[in-house]
């Protein structure tokens, strides 16, 4: 029988997880085996990642505005960068939705310079929309470029501030 000693009780509680892990390894039964994952989990996780990224960029835009940082050119450019990342995320989400989730669009390479876009209902509008979505670098390159410019301006501002302090 355990004595009512707080040290002994703590030692006993620490012992429980170790016992559980040992039991799971040594006594494998069906219930406690690793759950199997469907292949669609990957794309859903990826899409969730895009949503999360998009959400964080929206949050960044509002935070910068909320703190009146957008009065500085550097932070304003970082806001633009966030905006372009939002657009890029939307672009990626749509593209992944069409080709990986509902399989509405498929690409086949015919030759080195030609490709075929196959849509479920042979919709050329959807094909063109998908074609434009595939040019996502036109969104993410400006996004990162705005970030670079924004940081450059912040560096310049900081230099000016330091020079002012120094003088």
Partner 1 sequence: MITSFVPILAVDILGSIAMVIIALLSFYKARRLREMDPDNAVFHYLLWISMGLTIFSVSRSFGHILRQFLILTSNAEAWHAISSYTGSVNTVSFMLVGSITLFFNQSWKINEKILTGRKKLENTHIELMDLNQTLEHKVIERTERLTSSEHKCRRIFEQSLDTIIVTDSEFKIMEINPAGIILTGYTRDEMIMGKMTAGNFFADFSEWEKIHNKIASKEYILNEEAEFLRPDNDSLFVLITGGIDYGAFGCAKTYHFIIKNVNEKRQMERQIAQADKLAALGELSAGVAHEINNPLGIILGYTQLLLKLEPEHKDDLKIIEKHVQNCKTVVSDLLSFSRKGSSELSIIDINKVVDGVVKFLSNHSDFRNIEMSLNPYTEDRLNILGNEQELGQVIINLVINACHAVEGKGNIDITTQRTDQDKILIMVKDNGKGIDKKNLTRIFDPFFTTKPVGQGTGLGLSVGYGIIKRHQGDIRVKSSEGMGTLFTISLPADRTMD
DSSP letters for 40-101:
HHHHHHHHHHHHHHHHHHHHHHHHHHHTTGGGSHHHHHHHHHHHHHHHHHHHHHHHHIIIII
Say if residues 64 and 78 touch (Cβ distance below 8 Å): yes
The correct pick among 10, 71, 106, 159 for binding partner 1 (CB under 8 A) is 159
What residues numbered 102-141 form the site for partner 1, per CB under 8 A?
A: 109-110, 112-117, 119, 124, 127-128, 131, 134-138, 140-141
The CB-of-94 to partner 1 minimum distance in angstroms stands at 16
Q: What is the DSSP letter of 105?
A: E
The CB-of-14 to partner 1 minimum distance in angstroms stands at 31
- 141 backbone φψ class: left, alpha, beta (φ>0; ψ -120 to 50): alpha
> Per CB under 8 A, does 145 bind partner 1?
yes
Look-up: residue for tokens 């670079």? 148
Q: Which one, 12 or 55, has the nearer CB to partner 1? A: 55
Count, residues near partner 1 per rule CB under 8 A: 46
Q: Which stretch binds partner 1 (CB under 8 A): 5-13, 14-22, 26-34, 145-153?
A: 145-153
Say if residues 83 and 145 touch (Cβ distance below 8 Å): no
The CB-of-144 to partner 1 minimum distance in angstroms stands at 5
> Per CB under 8 A, does 90 bind partner 1?
no
Tokens of 65: 């505005």
Look-up: residue for tokens 């633009």? 80
Q: Which residues bind partner 1 (CB under 8 A)?
A: 42, 45-46, 49-50, 52-53, 55-57, 59-60, 63, 67, 82, 109-110, 112-117, 119, 124, 127-128, 131, 134-138, 140-141, 144-145, 147-148, 151-152, 154-155, 158-159, 162
């Amino acid at each position: 029988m355990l004595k009512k000693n707080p040290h002994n009780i703590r030692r006993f509680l620490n012992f429980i997880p170790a016992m559980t892990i040992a039991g799971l390894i040594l006594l494998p039964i069906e219930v406690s085996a690793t759950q199997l994952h469907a292949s669609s989990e990957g794309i859903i996780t990826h899409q969730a990642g895009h949503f999360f990224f998009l959400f964080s960029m929206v949050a960044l835009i509002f935070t910068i505005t909320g703190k009146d940082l957008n009065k500085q050119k550097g932070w304003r450019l970082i806001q633009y960068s966030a905006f372009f990342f939002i657009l890029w995320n939307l672009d990626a989400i749509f593209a992944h939705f069409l080709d990986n989730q509902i399989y509405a669009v498929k690409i086949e390479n015919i030759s080195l310079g030609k490709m075929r876009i196959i849509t479920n209902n042979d919709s050329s509008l959807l094909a063109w929309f998908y074609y434009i979505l595939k040019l996502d670098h036109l969104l993410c390159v400006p996004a990162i470029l705005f970030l670079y410019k924004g940081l450059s301006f912040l560096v310049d501002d900081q230099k000016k501030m330091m020079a002012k302090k120094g003088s």
